[in-house]
Every structure is written in structure tokens, then in C-alpha cells.
């Protein structure tokens, strides 16, 4: 057979072979993209869980900090008790009875809710948040420090008899607190992950011996550890439910609570998941009045 005749029998890939090759390539490409997306989703969810845990730990430590300092200060003079107002405000205004906690819809298991909005509406008394039984709150941890370092000492002198008297509403953020800038509730669902968003703290309402303090302005050094950027603009995706200890089986004449359980909860819509992500922890703090 001549050379010309041999070339006559050469042929390229058939349509079936081309389609098979394209199918294999497309499958491998889809698998690679899926693996990359899955890895990114897992990494982002890990970051979100870490941020949520940090916020929960911050709230838990704030509760312990307030109670421990309240206990330590009870033997001090009244003008040196900085944390009594905080602890007493929490116990008086936000603690609910164990029976109310059991009867109300406080279950935020991710399998039982469709969105974090549902969890908020269930635990904060609906959209209007006027249900007095459900008393959610969060703590502005950036304002929890001794009064001597809370403000600029050259400008502001808090009331020595009650250093936190003018800041209770700034530190204890309840379900009815409204952001004056956007007219929305400060406690709100998380658009990204559980977090606190802060802005400049206005000090004009706090008086010293000679007059009013000067408000913080944008000209202040925003990187300094100062009184600025400590006002809670929004607390997103995290809240606390305080429950009085169940004393139904305790034989006591006064029926004081032996302890308080603080349910610290978070909820956010994680990337790549249809159901909301939730994290919860419980902090039990014993009542100093009963311990004594």
C-alpha cells in the first residue's frame, strides 16, 4: 500500500469521543468548584462560630464580673459600691419566674425555627415587644470598668454615690431599647453573625461639679482606649434570658431564689445552610442574699 493510500485511512476523534471528553472535563470542573465552595463555606462557618462563642463568652464574663464585684463591694460604703445598681437592676427588672420560662415559647432549636426573626419574635414578645413576661437583654461590655477609668477624668466626674446611675440604660440593653439613629431596636437579628456594633458615647447628659461634659466627636482619636466608641448602636444575634431558680421543692419561709440561670443565646443565618445556626450557654449565679 502506498504512502498516499495509508494517509487515506487516518481519521480524527469521533463526536462521541469529543462529547465524552467534555463530559469528563465538566464533571471534574464541577467537583473542583464544589470542593472549593465547600471549603470556603466551612471556613466561614468556623469563623462565624468562633465570633458567636466570643460574644457569648463576653456576655457570660460580664455577668460573672457584675455579680462578683457586687458581692465584694457589699461591705464597702455606699459611695464605693459601683456594681450594686447593675446587679440589682438585672435581678429586679429582667429575671422571670421558672414557671413562665417553662410555659413560654423559649425553645430556639434550629430545627424548630425557620429564621432568626422567628426566634426573636418568640422570645421578645412579638414584633412590638410589649410582652412583659419575656424580658430579653444584653450587656454593653465596653462600659464595664471602674468609674475612675470610665470617662475622661479631666472632664467628667460621675456621681460618686452611684457611678452607673446615668448609664444603666447604656449598659443594660433591653428588648425595648431603640437606636436613635435608625429608629430600630438595638437588640436585633444578625445580618452576618452575632456581634455588637458601637459608636461614640455621648457624655453631655452626665454632669460634673462645674457643668456638663463635652460630647465625644469624630475629631477624637478613634484608636485610643477612651470613652469613645462604647455606645451600643446594635446588638445583633445575641441576647440573654434570666430565669429565677425554681424553689418549688425548697422549704423556705421567704422563698428567695437560691440561684439565677442566665440563658445566653445566639442565632444567625450561616452561609450555605438553610436552617439558622444557634449557640446557647447557661450561666448559673447564686444569690448572695441566700448564700449569707
pLDDT tens column, 139-180: 998 888 665 444 444 444 445 555 555 677 888 999 999 998
- What is the rounded CA–CA span in Å between residue 57 and residue 54? 5
Identify the pLDDT of residue 155: 42
The answer to whether the beta carbons of residues 77 and 157 sit under 8 Å apart is no
Distance in angstroms (rounded) separating the CA atoms of residues 83 and 114: 39
Per-residue pLDDT 10s for the chain (292 aa) are 555 555 555 566 677 777 888 888 888 888 888 777 777 777 788 888 999 999 999 999 999 999 998 888 877 666 566 788 789 889 999 999 888 887 777 777 666 778 888 888 888 877 778 777 888 999 998 888 665 444 444 444 445 555 555 677 888 999 999 998 888 999 999 988 899 998 876 544 333 333 333 444 444 444 444 456 778 899 999 999 999 987 665 555 455 678 999 999 999 988 777 888 889 999 999 988 775 5
Burial 82-105 (b: 16+ CB within 10 A, else e): bbbbbbebbbeebbbeeeebeebe
Question: Which grid cell sits at 275?
Answer: 436552617
- What gap in Å lies between CA 260 and CA 239, rounded to an integer? 16
Residue 166's pLDDT is what?
62
In this prediction the pTM is 0.74
DSSP string computed for 160-196: TT-TTTTTHHHHEEETT-B-TTT-SBSEE-BSSSSEE
**Residue 59 pLDDT:** 96
Place of cell 445583633: 236
Q: If we measure between CA atoms, which residue out of 67, 262, 233 comes closest to residue 140?
A: 233
pLDDT at 2: 54
CB distance 140 to 170 below 8 Å: yes
> Taking a C-beta distance cutoff of 8 angstroms, is the pair 200, 231 a contact?
yes
216, three cell numbers: 465625644
Residue 264: per-residue pLDDT: 95
Q: What is the pLDDT of residue 62?
A: 94
| Backbone phi, psi, residue 79, to 5° | -80, 0
Amino acid at each position: 500500500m502506498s504512502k498516499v493510500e495509508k494517509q487515506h485511512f487516518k481519521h480524527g476523534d469521533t463526536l462521541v469521543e469529543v462529547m465524552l471528553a467534555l463530559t469528563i472535563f465538566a464533571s471534574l470542573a464541577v467537583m473542583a468548584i464544589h470542593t472549593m465552595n465547600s471549603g470556603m463555606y466551612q471556613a466561614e462557618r468556623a469563623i462565624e462560630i468562633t465570633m458567636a462563642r466570643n460574644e457569648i463568652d463576653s456576655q457570660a464574663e460580664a455577668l460573672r464580673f457584675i455579680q462578683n464585684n457586687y458581692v465584694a463591694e457589699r461591705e464597702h460604703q455606699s459611695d464605693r459600691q459601683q456594681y450594686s445598681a447593675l446587679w440589682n437592676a438585672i435581678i429586679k427588672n429582667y429575671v422571670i419566674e421558672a414557671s413562665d420560662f417553662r410555659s413560654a415559647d423559649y425553645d430556639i432549636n434550629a430545627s424548630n425555627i425557620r429564621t432568626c426573626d422567628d426566634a426573636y419574635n418568640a422570645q421578645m414578645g412579638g414584633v412590638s415587644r410589649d410582652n412583659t413576661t419575656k424580658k430579653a437583654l444584653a450587656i454593653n461590655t465596653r462600659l464595664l470598668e471602674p468609674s475612675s477609668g470610665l470617662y475622661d477624668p479631666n472632664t467628667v466626674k460621675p456621681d460618686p454615690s452611684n457611678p452607673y446611675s446615668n448609664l444603666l440604660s447604656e449598659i443594660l440593653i433591653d428588648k425595648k431599647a431603640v437606636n436613635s439613629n435608625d429608629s430600630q431596636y438595638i437588640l436585633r437579628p444578625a445580618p452576618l453573625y452575632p456581634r455588637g456594633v458601637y459608636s461614640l458615647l455621648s457624655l453631655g447628659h452626665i454632669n460634673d461639679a462645674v457643668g456638663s461634659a463635652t460630647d465625644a466627636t469624630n475629631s477624637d482619636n478613634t484608636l485610643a482606649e477612651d470613652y469613645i466608641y462604647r455606645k451600643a448602636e446594635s446588638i445583633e444575634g445575641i441576647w440573654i434570658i434570666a430565669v429565677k431558680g425554681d424553689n418549688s421543692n425548697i422549704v423556705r419561709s421567704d422563698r428567695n431564689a437560691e440561684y439565677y440561670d442566665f440563658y445566653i443565646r445566639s442565632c444567625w443565618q450561616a452561609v450555605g445552610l438553610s436552617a439558622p445556626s444557634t449557640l446557647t450557654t447557661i450561666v448559673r449565679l447564686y444569690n448572695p442574699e441566700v448564700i449569707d
